[in-house]
Amino acid sequence: MHALLLAATLAQATPPASSLTLSATSVNLNPAQQQVVTVAGAAPPLQVALDRRLVNVEVSPDGSTITVTATQATGSDVLHVVDAAGAQADVSIRVAFNAGTIVPQQTLRVTGDPADPQWLAQEVQNAVLRATKAQPDSTVTLGATPAISSALAPGESTQVEVPVQIAGNGRYFDQSGATVVNIENVAASPFQPGILFYSDDPEHVTQDGLLFRGTVTTAMPARLYYYHDDAQDPHRLVVLLSGAADEPASVQVVGTRAGPNMDVMHVGHTVSKNFLLTKTHHEGLIVDLSPDDPFVLADVPMSARQLVAGNVDVRVLSGGPVTVAVVAASPGVDPRTLLGGPQLPDDGHHRTGTFQIAAYGNEALNYMIGGADPTVVIGDTDPTPPSADPQGQGHDYGDYGVVHTIDVTMRNPAAEPATAYLYFKPLAGPARASFLLDGNLIELGCVRVSAPYQISSINLAPGESYRGTLLTMPDGGSFFPTEIGITATPPQPHAPPISAPDGCFPKPDAGHSL
């Protein structure tokens, strides 16, 4: 009898054996998310405690599981687990939102005859960035787009996979994945806009708000040219396309942008050069617009004195009308909230408005060896693109956003060979220019002195004629008007160095002081 009592007493005094282990020592949860931690080898009952009570914890009756449920609060906590034998284990807990969402697959519809591989790679990156939804203060990083081996002709398709990383920067859970982009080149005929939306007033952005708003219909394609810099506090320049409230729309956009950069002549030159190339190859996007979700065509950050510019043609393929808007938004501000507001006050220069360009910018140069040198002047105050609004006060002095198409004809009636020169001549100050002569790109460096600079030379045999097409678009940041002409007198063969005495910005004479 005494032996039985002693055994029972010893059994009560000896802690049960324990080898407490948990299926997870750390738990990451989104708000309101739940995770079950499995318990093994424990001596029940279990006791649990939290440092901060950030989450709710429930232990199953048999002590085999612990359910951790996050509230809406975010942060970190530690769960302490102790069993009847005194064995302990801790679980670190973090509650946060994901840094963003990576779309596993999307379709990119393009146009192009054909679409260049490098242009496609950039548009793939732009499409993935638009589709990747990131939390404020998180950072999206894209891996390189796999090389597209050849140009994509209308009717052809291809597929690429782009790695995507979204860093939470300590506030959110990092996300890692990839987006597969299915690229389809849709056959579409070229088009020319009939109106120009010119957005350059206020040129210097000082506050959030609407900079420009215009409407595009199926009957009248439009071109948007925008040119704005940041005055002081950081802003984003955002271009949005919105469908009508009661009808979805499909649009084709062909365009390019440049910046941010404080070198305004570089930005303006890059836009015009790239637009001439892009427009010639008809490279663009086809976008479906939903009434409640504007399409972000551009969202470019600017800091003090940095410039952003762009040129884009918009054609409504179905539905509509479509609103094109340019807004300035501070970091973290949803630009869609600014669409319904009034347009920001201008700076008094009236460099904004809607202009008719359907019959504007078509010129001709006819030259005969031995005859007078023909010339055309572009970017003058008269003529200038006429306003589409009879009451509008805006003007487009400089022809910004206008593509000039110049028919070039040369004839050599002589019995000897001769050379004729196409030239560019600044008339009002420093200017740069890009040209497409019969589809071939020619870039002219910055010139200031009012003298002819060579665009190209054409050799003409006796009795030979030449006919070609010269395309050019005024560079933002350059001074206008400028002259284009043909002569038999050899012009300057190239632009001088920028700091040369006859360069755009010669250095001050060291022998003189201010």
Residue 12 lies in a domain: no
Confidence of residue 293 (pLDDT cuts 50, 70, 90): confident
Q: pLDDT at residue 9 above 50?
A: no
Question: Does residue 327 share a domain with residue 200?
Answer: yes
**pLDDT tens-place string over residues 164-173:** 999 999 999 9
Higher pLDDT: 236 or 5? It is: 236
Query: For 207-227, how does the pLDDT look when each residue is reduced to its tens digit (9 = 90+)?
Result: 999 999 999 999 999 999 999
pLDDT number for residue 14: 52
146 plus 211 within the same structural domain: no
CATH number of domain containing 169: 2.60.40
DSSP string, 235-298: EEEEEEEE-BTTB-EEEEEEEEEEEEES-HHHHHHHHHHHHHHHHHTT-EEEEEEBTTB-EEEE
How does pLDDT run across 453-479, given as a tens digit for each residue?
999 999 999 999 999 999 999 999 999
Both 314 and 337 in a single domain?
yes
Q: Is residue 76 classed as helix, strand or coil in its secondary structure?
A: strand
Residue 15 has a pLDDT of 54
7 versus 356: which is more confidently predicted?
Answer: 356
- Looking at the fold, whether 332 and 459 belong to one and the same domain comes out as no
User: Does the structure show a pLDDT above 80 at 124?
Assistant: yes
- 3-state class (DSSP) for residue 10: helix
**Residue 290's pLDDT band (boundaries 50, 70, 90)?**
confident
Residues 224 and 161 grouped into a single domain: no
Last residue of a domain, one of 78, 95, 112: 95
- Closest among 141, 185, 182, 146 to 164, alpha carbons compared: 141
270 & 384 share domain: no
Mean residue pLDDT across the chain = 93
pLDDT at 5 over 60: no
Range of the domain at 139: 100-185
What stretch of H or E contains 3? helix 2-13
**Listed residue (196, 197, 204) closest to 344, CA to CA:** 204
**Model pLDDT, residue 442:** 97
User: How confident is residue 291, by pLDDT bands cut at 50, 70 and 90?
Assistant: confident
Residues above pLDDT 90, as percent of the chain? 88
pLDDT at 368 over 80: yes
The stretch 77-106 carries a mean pLDDT of 96
**Residue recorded with tokens 């939390």:** 135
Domain count, the chain: 4
Q: Is the dihedral of CA 370, 469, 404, 504 positive or negative?
A: negative
Residue 418 is assigned to a structural domain of this protein: yes
